[in-house]
Structure formats: C-alpha cells, structure tokens
C-alpha cells in the first residue's frame, strides 16, 4: 500500500507556526507549491526529502507525517488525530530499531 502525506496534521502545525497558506508552507520548507498540492491530492507519494523538510520546519515526527493508504477506504481510518497513547519516537541514529509485524511494533537490537 502506498504512503500518503497526512496533510491535515501538516496544515494544523503550519497554522500554529503562522503559515496559513500553501505558499507560506512552501517558502518555509523549500518544497514547491505544486508538489504540496499533488501530495494533498494523493497523486504522488511523499519522498524522504519532502518528509524531512516538513519535519524540520514544523518539528513533527516522521511517522506522524504519513499513513498507509487503505485498500478499502470505508474499513480503515486514514489520518488519526495525535493521541497521548501514541508510541514515543526514538532519537535519530539510535541503535534500537523497531520492526513492524502485523501492525505491531517490536523492539530489536
């Protein structure tokens, strides 16, 4: 299943940072406006460099920026709101990794 950008979360964070338009988000992140529109429409998956730019600009976790497009739209949630019981992120470069298996994360290493 392809990854999609969770545009609702990005737009909420951008508004809090004072970026209320796609042009303002593009200016802060260096991502072209047309790319942001294609990501919002779901016509292209986000690249790692795009995700990294959004993460840096708005202080978001990489895993909160994307979701897997469900096979059937009526059976899965797409972009859930941030929840307090979400798993904490690990520091970049940490030796501990996680492996996703059947929707669960397990520690390895």
Strand partners, 66: 5
> Average pLDDT of 4-26?
95
In a domain, 105, yes or no: no
Give the DSSP letter of residue 19.
Answer: -
Containing domain of residue 33, as a range? 1-72
Give the DSSP letter of residue 101.
Answer: E
| pTM, two decimal places | 0.63
In a domain, 42, yes or no: yes
Q: Tokens standing for 84?
A: 């307090």
**What total number of domains does the chain contain?**
1
Integer Cα distance of 75 and 59 in angstroms: 30
Give the DSSP letter of residue 54.
Answer: H
In a domain, 104, yes or no: no
Which positions ≥6 away from 59 have C-beta within 8 Å? 13
In a domain, 82, yes or no: no
Ramachandran angles phi, psi of 40, nearest 5°: -65, -35
In a domain, 80, yes or no: no
Read off the CATH number of the domain in which 39 is found: 1.10.260.40
pLDDT-derived band at 34, boundaries 50, 70, 90: very high
């Amino acid at each position: 299943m392809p990854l999609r950008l969770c545009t609702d979360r990005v737009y909420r964070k951008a508004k809090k940072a004072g970026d209320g338009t796609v042009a303002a988000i593009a200016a802060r992140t260096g991502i072209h406006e047309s790319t942001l529109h294609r990501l919002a429409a779901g016509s292209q998956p986000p690249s790692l460099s795009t995700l990294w730019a959004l993460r840096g600009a708005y202080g978001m976790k990489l895993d909160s920026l994307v979701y897997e497009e469900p096979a059937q739209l009526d059976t899965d949630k797409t972009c859930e709101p941030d929840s307090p019981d979400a798993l904490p992120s690990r520091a970049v470069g940490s030796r501990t990794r996680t492996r996703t298996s059947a929707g669960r994360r397990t520690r390895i290493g």
